Amino acid sequence: MFRVIGTLFLCALGISAAPTEPSTAKDSSKIRLGINISSIAYYTPEIVFKDIMKQGSGFLSQKKGKGWAQGGDLPVDDNGNIKKLEPEQFGEVLLFPDMEGKYPGGEYICKYEGEGEVVLGGSATPLPGKGKDIRVKVDPPRGHISIKVMRTNPKNPVRNIKLFPAKYTSKDLQDPFDPAFLKHLDGYKVLRMMDWGKTNDSEVVEWKDRAKMTEFQGTNKGVALEYQIQLANTLKVEPWFCIPHLASDDYVAQFAKLVKEKLSPALKFHVEYSNETWNGQFAQAKYCQQQGLKLGLSKNAYEAQLRYSSQRSVEIFKIIEKEFGGHDRFVRIIATHAANSWGGATTLDWQKAYTQADAVAIAPYFGNRLGSPKMVKEVLAGGLDKVFEELKVDLADNKKKNEEYAQIASKRKLELMTYEGGQHLTGIEGQQDNEELTKLFIAANRDPRMKELYLIDLNNWKEIGGGVYCMFASMGRYTKWGSWGLLENSVQDVKTAPKYQAVQEFMKSLKGN
pLDDT, tens digit (0-9, with 9 covering 90-100), for 137-170: 999 999 999 999 999 999 999 999 999 999 999 9
pLDDT score for 10: 39
Q: How far is it, in rounded angstroms, from Cα 48 to Cα 409?
A: 36
Q: Which domains does the chain have, with CATH numbers?
A: 31-48+179-511 (3.20.20.80), 52-174 (no CATH)
Q: If you average pLDDT over residues 484-501, what whole number do you get?
A: 97
Burial of residue 214 (number of CB atoms within 10 Å: 0-12, 13-18, 19+): middle
What's the mean pLDDT in 438-449? 98
Backbone conformation region of residue 106, classed left if phi is above 0, alpha if psi is from -120 to 50, else beta: left
Which tops the pLDDT comparison, 91 or 28? 91
CA geometry: angle 486, 487, 490, nearest 5 deg: 150
Distance between CA atoms of 303 and 293, rounded to whole angstroms? 9
Percent of the chain with pLDDT over 90: 90
Question: What is the DSSP-derived secondary structure letter of residue 49?
Answer: B
Assess whether pLDDT exceeds 80 at residue 13. no
The confidence score (pLDDT) of residue 7 equals 34
- What pLDDT sits at residue 18? 39
Q: pLDDT band at residue 511, thresholds of 50, 70 and 90? A: confident
ω into 473 cis (within 30 of 0):
yes
pLDDT digits (tens, 9 = 90+) for 164-220: 999 999 999 999 999 999 999 999 999 999 999 999 999 999 999 999 999 999 988
How does pLDDT run across 457-488, given as a tens digit for each residue? 999 999 999 999 999 999 999 999 999 999 99
What gap in Å lies between CA 82 and CA 107, rounded to an integer?
26
- The pLDDT, as a whole number, for residue 132 is 76
Say how far apart CA 71 and CA 79 lie, in whole Å.
Answer: 20
Exposed e or buried b for every residue in 300-329, given b needs 16+ CB within 10 A? bebbbbbbbbbbbbbebbebbbebeeebeb
Q: Which amino acid is at 371?
A: G
Q: What is the pLDDT of residue 513?
A: 57
Cβ 121 vs Cβ 146: under 8 Å: yes
> Using 50, 70 and 90 to split pLDDT, how confident is the model at 286?
very high
Q: Is the pLDDT of residue 22 over 70?
A: no
Q: What is the model's pLDDT at position 9?
A: 37
Strand 134-138 relative to strand 124-126: parallel, antiparallel, unpaired? antiparallel
pTM metric for this prediction = 0.93
The CA-based angle 54-56-58, given to 5 degrees, is 105
pLDDT for 79 equals 87
More confident residue, 78 or 29: 78
324, 325, 326, 328 alpha-carbon torsion, rounded to 10°: -60
Across the chain, what does the average pLDDT equal? 93
Taking only the tens place, the pLDDT of each residue in 101-135 is 999 999 999 999 999 999 999 999 999 977 778 99
Minimal CA–CA distance to 56: which of 90, 91, 83, 93? 93
